[in-house]
Amino acid sequence: MEKLSNFINGQYVAPSSGRYLDNYEPATGQVYSLIPDSDAHDVEHAVLAAEAAFPVWSTMGIEGRAAILRKLSEGIEANMDAFVAAESKDNGKPLSLAQHVDIPRAVSNFHFFATAIEHFASESHQMEGVGLNYTTRKPIGVVGCISPWNLPLYLFSWKIAPALAAGNCVVAKPSEVTPYTAYMLGKIAKEAGMPDGVLNILHGTGPNVGDAIVKHPKIKAISFTGGTKTGEYIAQTAGPMFKKLSLELGGKNPNIIFADCDFKDALSTTIRSSFANQGQICLCGSRIFIERPIYEQFKEAFVAAMAKNKVSFPTDPEAKMGAVVSKPHMEKILSYIELAKEEGGTILCGGKRKILDGAHAEGYYIEPTIIEGLHYTCRTSFAICVHHLAASKPQVWAAKAAGKPCAFSPKPKTCLSSIDK
């Protein structure tokens, strides 16, 4: 079975501990590769490599850094088919989604920041007769980037590209649930001419690798995308160390639909925003609030449209939804659906695990699920509903629609509720 490696100081290396984690293919539920179960020793090796590379990378001319990042972008694009296939297999999403969204966006991320750094403009403020105040921006050193599993290379590149463009060296950790395309990226970086140690990619769990990155005294900044509780812990840990922080955390995402909307546009937008990427995007609409005059019409049209969306294995050209990312995540979604039933919710469609035939029988598939009838104070996080909200008081229904802080949405499910105007 294939063993993935860490990418440290320009070389693929095994974890210091010699331990590995199983990497599952969501479409089949089977282990298909092994990933390093790295720890603080590996983080230390990566930081030392990044620290040694920083003088070279930070003093390289902007044009030089930009040229390497453009080559990196072109390298991904030249290997588009391989990256698309790997992303789809590792994450469970339809091949078409990885082909049209994930990998093209990773290409764009590196290209955008490669060109952006060439067009930097500073700010200045004149103190008449006294002097001139101006802003400078300089690389700060070694930074840590920790990315999630829902859009693996897309969000991984979104973090490391601007850090590298600015002249920083990076110690990066992709999600241990979806490590493969980040693993592939090391080879592309090497071929692009990136100096050894500038980009280091470590695999492993959050408690072992992520925590060591956050706590390391020589890592000057942390960029993290993930759950709110984890973000809170990172802030509490990194704050006293005066590290710069960028935290993109979970949130409530209601769609609010009024009777005077463009009905067809609102319907198609809601379908996409609710179930794209199996609903595994932090900005997916987990709840839908509909003004009462069109509530029944919209509900019927929404349910009918979702019934036509095919859930299938990722390489099925007709698949609109693939597998969710892991067995624990699938079980979490199903547990929330059961909780919604306990709290009085009505399942309008879906609500069950979907079993495919043959090699995909053990895959992590769930029927797209729509629920109505839950109160906004219910315990079913990510699918909270509100009834009879007055649209003349937007601060009231907006606050209730926002709900309480949360982590990533354990979809695919969404909830319907009505509002009065």
Question: Which of the residues are catalytic?
Answer: 248, 282
Return the closest-CA partner of residue 332 out of 381, 403, 404, 275. Answer: 381
20-25 vs 30-36, strand pairing mode: antiparallel
69 backbone φψ class: left, alpha, beta (φ>0; ψ -120 to 50): alpha
* Residue 327: closest CA among 355, 359, 365, 356: 365
C-alpha dist (Å) from residue 178 to 197, 199, 351: 23, 19, 26
CA geometry: angle 90, 94, 95, nearest 5 deg: 80
Cα gap 302→45, rounded to integer Å: 52
The conformation of residue 355, written as its DSSP 8-state character, comes to P
- Cβ atoms of 309 and 320 within 8 Å: the answer is yes
d(CA 337, CA 346): 10
How many whole angstroms separate alpha carbon 275 and alpha carbon 164? 33
Count other C-beta atoms under 10 Å from residue 37's C-beta.
Answer: 19
Measured CA angle at 139 (ends 77, 158), to 5 deg: 30
The answer to whether the CB of 346 falls within 8 A of the CB of 371 is yes
| Closest-CA residue to 326 (of 382, 406, 252, 408) | 408
CA 366 – CA 379 distance, rounded (Å): 21
Residue in 135, 186, 140 with CA at minimum distance from that of residue 163? 140
Strand ranges of the sheet holding 2-3, from the earlier edge strand across to the other edge? 2-3, 30-36, 20-25
Cis ω before 368 (30° cut-off from 0): no
Show Cβ contacts of residue 47 under 8 Å, excluding neighbours closer than 6 positions: 142, 171, 216, 218, 219
